[in-house]
Structure 1
Amino acid sequence: MKLQLTCALLLIAGATWAQSNLEEKREAYGKIAQSGTKEQKDAATQELLEIAKTTKSESELEFANNFLYRLGHQDSADSLRSVIAKKFPKSVTARGVYIQDVFYKQEGAKAKEKSYNHLIKNWPVDKTASDNVAYDYVIASVAKSFADEGNKEKALYYLDQMNERFWRAQGYIPVATKLLQQGDTVAALPLIQTAINDAEYYINLPKEQKDNKAGFAAVGYPGYVSQLAEIYDAQGKQTEALQLIERAIALVPEQAPRFSVTYFKGLEAAGRKLEALQQLEILYKQGEFTHKENMKALYTGLNGSDSGVDAYFTRLDGEVIKGIRDHIKEMEAYKPAPAFELLNLKGETVSLASLKGKVVVLDFWATWCQPCIRSFPGMQAAQVLYENDDDVQFLFINTWERDKAYKQNVVDFIAKNKYPFQVLYDDQKDAETGEVLAAKYGVQGIPAKFIIDKEGNIRYFLTGSTPNVDYIKLEMRELIESAKKPYKG
């Protein structure tokens, strides 16, 4: 009865499409895509395919394309996307196909410029539209290519064409960084300052006016400020650098740890040795040990000798481990891990059942996921730590790939970086649920890591990561050693 009702509702939705509210439809299909049963998803898929066959409406086709993709039917979605682009050559979909399939395949600034000119000729920018950030991605790419080739004038010209204030720092900062590498600080400074100004504009908006755009604009703020402070520091303007950092910390105190490296330099230059050491302690407690020699020098200077420095670091090391143990308590879980049989890069089947008796570390990742990739050196260090422990197995589950040639892309990526990882392809859909493994594990974002104990139970689940190699290694050790112990509830 439930399935019949679901199908009936979907069929009615198709019949009365023109009269119904599109947002309501998106909400209904969104719930099915996210948490519907296999029967509901199958019914939704059939309805979407029927809409794709019969409708002449661009909006309906785009709706069907979007939800076919979300329901895991990428091939059908890609085919429909091509159909939309042909039927509606001036549509947003056609524009997206051109950007993805033509523009991003261009090499060199001139080729990209020519492709961009074709884009705006055939799909002119509408200043009143809400999706102009799509053009900004393209403009930023053109500007960066000209900067890479040393054509500053063209790079700056294209940056000036950007449409969305909340996003333009994503174009400005890469060009500014390239200009700095080329020794052109004069041209780079205004770009960085503009990025800072934009971020501060959104940070200072009243709470009721803040939205996703504001959050996106503000997320890079600590990096922009640190980059400008580094320039001031190199120019001998330590006072200006320190003022800049302290102003930023006052504005976003929750982001204070992200300023610690630059703040330390400014404090040290200003003779504020104790405060400088305290900033390095913040970094140390986060598992960043690269400033240990600076800490020793500051400690010795403040105390008049190096007596007690070993005890000082022993205490800090204890705080690091305690912090990690407190942190991983938040990641605790205890439930049976969904079974799987997936192929590795050699075409061999690897199953969870075959690993019973081992602690298994699953790391869900994709080649396009920068946080995943940034965490890999740390994960490699953790794997090396356990390379002689037969009771521990690391598996790197490649999922959510967007390119049809994903298998070769994965092989090339692993070979290029010489990662000694056991990689499995998450492309086998469950016969009953129609889900890939990431969905069965409840993965909402990547990187996502699961620590499974010897009895096959998930003991820890964590998302996101840090590029800090030492911290990842320490964290993984604590997670794995805890999972080796019997569960106490």
Structure 2
Amino acid sequence: MKKLITAALLLAVSAGMAQSNLQEKRLQYAKIAESGTKAEKEALAQELFKLAKSAKDEGDLIFASNFIYQLGHENSADSIRKEVIRKFPKGVTARDAYVTGFYDLESTEEKEKRFKSWVKKWPMEKAEGDKLSYDYIIAALARAFAQEGEKEKALSYVEQMNERFWRAQGYIPVATSFLQQGDTAAAIPLIQTAIDDAEYYINLPKEQKDNKAGFAAVGYPGYVGQLAEIYNAQGRQTEALELIERAIALTPEQAPRFSSSYFKGLEASGRKLEALQQLEILYKQGTFGYKDKMTELYTELNGSGQGLAAYFTRLDQDVVKAICDHIKEMEVYKPAPAFELLNLKGEKVSLASLKGKVVVLDFWATWCQPCIRSFPGMQAAQAMYAEDDAVQFLFINTWERDAAYKTNVPAFIEKNGYPFEVLYDDQKDPDTGEVLAAKYGVRGIPAKFIIDKEGNIRYFLTGSTPNVDYIKLEMRELIEAAKKPYKR
């Protein structure tokens, strides 16, 4: 018995060391892939090719192919993945490849048939620890059936979802479809479940919170707002207010995200001063669509519109001040990496040729929804400087996943009527093997850089907002600041 216990302990220690070593390797390889020299990258690639040839385990092959892809050997990585599927026909890679194309199928019936065939070959109960892949497909099927009015089928699929931290991604689209069809009774339990799931993770002790908990909590204000809207429409203002005020008490740091729903409940309950205060919060965040409602509430509370112009002037000053404070966090000062890329017409555009201008770079991709959401605002910002020859906007198309990107990108731009100067970020540096996004340190898109007339990066910002007016204000402050000499 003692020998068995000792063997078990040794096995556990060995497994722990193996996991630790793998993590160390992953970090080491990631560092080389991101910022290593050309020689270091090539040496790593050769090491990974050897690993791929000798590997007996699917995980090792996937590990090798992922890093080989990151190092710029896309074709080799694809070949290794094909070999993985051949060697491990019941493995994870083969499983995921089998369902590839699911979203391209035209009918929901075809999608359901593909899904059923998939789970028959790779049962969910055998995918312990890896059920999120199934949830993606289940959520898509549930949404498709809901949109087609197949209520029972939609509900049967959402009930099959596995991961509690993620299942709101299936529940909420289905609930939204039900609401659009006028079936509020079917929608409310789904939204309530999404709220309950988020609150479960929000209420976890700090030491138990992880990335899953963070993800689950992100949509919480939206779920609460959606249910509050329903309650308000049903005349259940008291319940709507209780719901929102409870949510604010639970997540006070997210209070501004509840303002849109909160003001409606406050107004309906006759708490008009508080309703106006919530609209002021939204206004200062750059949401200007409620200006008419603010005018109405201001006039009602004050008995007249006297002082209204000064009131909005003060709010506008607060908005600009908040933006100025915000852009200080984005401030940098370093030489912008040089580039020479092709535009949609096949013409070369270089940073050097634009010296003397403030240049706005916007890194984006056709699959990136946050990028696309910001485009109307970026279009409006570009229009502000249409007559200013000292400012140039460049939209750097990067990280495209489809080999036919040189067809897809121009089609996307033309379809949406964007008057953008688009450059393809597909020229790898001969020394480092990096594309421009990597040279600029881009780790997520959209990513925007404001470069001054001397060729120095002055501001770097990531993320997006769909708010056109806010983007215009923000871009104006960034560009005008970059026009001025840098103060150390």
Unpaired runs of at least 5, structure 2: 1-16
Alignment correspondent of 1:362:
361
Aligned length: 472
Identify the residue that residue 415 of structure 1 maps to in structure 2.
414
Mapped to 2, the partners of 1:193 and 1:176 lie a distance apart of 10
In the TM superposition, what are the counterparts of 1:14-413 in structure 2 within 5 Å? 21-100=21-100, 102-126=101-125, 129-413=128-412
Larger mean Cα displacement after TM superposition, 124-133 or 440-449: 124-133
SS in 1 for 2:437: helix
Partners of 2:21 and 2:338 lie apart in 1 by 40
Query: Are the counterparts in 2 of residues 143 and 158 from structure 1 also a CA contact under 8 Å?
Result: yes
The SS at the match of 1:126 is helix
Distance 1:21 1:386 in 2: 53
Give CA deviations for 1:384-429 in whole Å, capped at 9, x if unaligned.
1111111111001111112222222212221221111111111111
Task: Identify if the C-alpha distance between structure 1 residues 19 and 380 changes in structure 2 by more than 3 Å, giving closer, same or farther.
Answer: closer
Match in the other structure for 1:9? none
Contact 1:82 1:97 in 2 (8 A): no
User: AA paired with 2:289?
Assistant: T
> Contact 1:162/1:168 (CA < 8 Å) preserved in 2?
yes
Query: 1: CA distance between counterparts of 2:423 and 2:146?
Result: 39
Amino acid at match of 1:221: Y
Match for 1:469: what amino acid? V
Cα displacement string for residues 272-311 of structure 1 (whole angstroms, at most 9, x for unaligned residues): 1111111110111111111011111111111111100001
CA distance in 2, matches of 1:486, 1:18: 54
Q: Secondary structure at the match of 1:142?
A: helix
Q: How far apart, CA to CA, are the structure 2 residues paired with 1:485 and 1:315?
A: 26
Q: How far apart are the structure 1 equivalents of 2:416 and 2:440?
A: 28
Deviation at 1:329, TM superposition (A): 1.1
Cα pair 2:37 2:431 within 8 Å, conserved? no
AA aligned opposite 1:195: A
Deviation at 1:51, TM superposition (A): 2.1
RMSD: 1.6
Q: CA deviation at 1:434?
A: 0.9
Find the counterpart in structure 2 of residue 13 from structure 1. none
Q: Which amino acid aligns with 2:148?
A: E
What whole-Å deviation, never above 9, does each CA across 1:90-126 have from its counterpart, x for those lacking one?
A: 11111111222x3222222111110001110111113
Instruction: Tell me the CA shift for residue 28 of structure 1.
Output: 2.3
Work out the CA distance in 1 between the residues paired with 2:20 and 2:418. Answer: 52
Instruction: Choose 191-200 or 70-79, whichever is displaced more.
Output: 70-79
Please list every run of 5 or more consecutive structure 1 residues that lacks an aligned counterpart in the other structure: 1-16
Q: What is the alpha-carbon distance in structure 2 between the residues aligned to residue 20 and residue 346 of structure 1?
A: 50
Q: Distance in 2 between matches of 1:127 and 1:260?
A: 44
Identical positions, percent:
75
Task: Report the Cα offset of residue 34 of structure 1.
Answer: 3.0
Letter in 1 for 2:80: L
1:423-452 Cα shifts (integer Å, max 9, x gaps) = 111111101111110110011111110000
Q: CA deviation at 1:179?
A: 0.9
Q: Secondary structure at the match of 2:392?
A: strand
Structure 1 residues 62-116: Cα deviation after superposition (integer angstroms, max 9, x where no partner): 111121123233332222212211221111111111222x322222211111000
1:58 CA displacement? 1.6
Paired with 2:216 and 2:19, the residues of 1 have a C-alpha distance of 38
Report the AA paired with residue 315 of structure 1: R
Distance 2:290 2:284 in 1: 12
Aligned equivalents of 2:198, 2:128: Cα separation in 1: 22
